[in-house]
Amino acid sequence: MEMASSKKIFPDFEINDTTLIKYNGLEKEIIIPEGITEIGSYSFANSYSVESIIIPEGVECIRKSAFAYCENLKEITIPKSINRIEEGAFLYCVRLKNIYYEGTIGDWCNMRFVPSLLGCSTPMKYAKHFYLKNEGKWEEIKSIEIPNGIIKIEPFLFYGFKEVTTIIIPDSVTSIGDCAFSNCEKLETITIPKSVTRVNGSAFMECPKLKEINYLGTKSQQEELKKDLKRRKEEKRRRI
């Protein structure tokens, strides 16, 4: 007896089980169908017509190069259900301007960005503006207060938040990952609690306006953190 295929073909979309595997349309504004949990590798790659994408709640992962070379993509709405974005997901989306995120900063802190030779996978590499909903209306984020309970600030988590000027980190955080705040072009001040004992050497790379890092630890903790930061910068230079 022949088994029925789980591959479904919708107008413009090819879906296998709950994975969107290919977009075949030419529309400018895309709403991805409900019921999807994964946006497959290369599924929208080279879709030059696409300017706007809305991803529904329930999608958990954006696979490798899913939106690569969508050169006219300008805005994307991301649900809070997404927790993993893989390498090159937004590679060469050079006109990407606005990110609308349906969750909170706390939800965003659960995101994992997979780095590779293709570069960081965050859409903020190209986008300039990041929006959250406030009382039902979209509001651009210009300051960030990470909620208590977050233990690690993951690599690339706030990379490219270009309009953010201040960041406050709670005393539940113990480490700050690679490029966590890199390329925050307008970041001026950041407060780091004494609970943080590990900061990757490139955590604040390309933050030209950063004037003040307020570290709340003791003098000996400050010295240890400086040594750790210096060691990690040297390790990174040796790997290049």
Q: Which residue has the tokens 């993951």?
A: 154
Buried b (16+ CB within 10 A) or exposed e, 201-219: bbbbbebeebeeeebebee
pLDDT, position 86: 96
Look at 35 and 1; give whichever has higher pLDDT: 35
pLDDT, position 3: 42
CB 218 within 8 A of CB 195: no
Q: Does 28 score more than 80 pLDDT?
A: yes
Confidence of residue 156 (pLDDT cuts 50, 70, 90): very high
**50: how many CB neighbours lie within 10 A of its CB?**
23
Q: Enumerate the CATH 3.80.10.10 domain ranges in the chain, comma separated.
A: 1-141, 142-229
Average pLDDT (124-136) is 95
pLDDT, position 8: 55
pLDDT, position 9: 53
Confidence of residue 175 (pLDDT cuts 50, 70, 90): very high
Look at 60 and 206; give whichever has higher pLDDT: 60
Q: Does 115 score more than 60 pLDDT?
A: yes
pLDDT, one tens digit per residue, over 178-229 is: 999 999 999 998 889 989 988 887 888 899 998 888 888 777 777 776 666 6
Q: Does 44 score more than 90 pLDDT?
A: yes
Confidence of residue 230 (pLDDT cuts 50, 70, 90): low
Question: What residues contact 150, with CB distance under 8 A and at least 6 apart?
Answer: 106, 109, 170, 172, 173
CATH number of 142-229: 3.80.10.10
CB 18 within 8 A of CB 8: no
pLDDT, position 4: 46
pLDDT, one tens digit per residue, over 73-95 is: 999 999 999 999 999 999 999 99
Mean of pLDDT over the chain: 89
pLDDT, position 109: 97
Q: Does 118 score more than 70 pLDDT?
A: no
Gap between the Cα atoms of 67 and 127, Å rounded = 14
pLDDT, position 235: 57
pLDDT, position 210: 87
Gap between the Cα atoms of 38 and 4, Å rounded = 21
CB 229 within 8 A of CB 206: no
- Note the maximum CA span of the chain: 74
Gap between the Cα atoms of 190 and 200, Å rounded = 15
CB 158 within 8 A of CB 164: yes
> Which one-letter amino acid corresponds to residue 165?
T
The CATH class for the domain spanning 1-141 reads alpha beta
Q: Is-above-0.85 flag for pTM?
A: yes
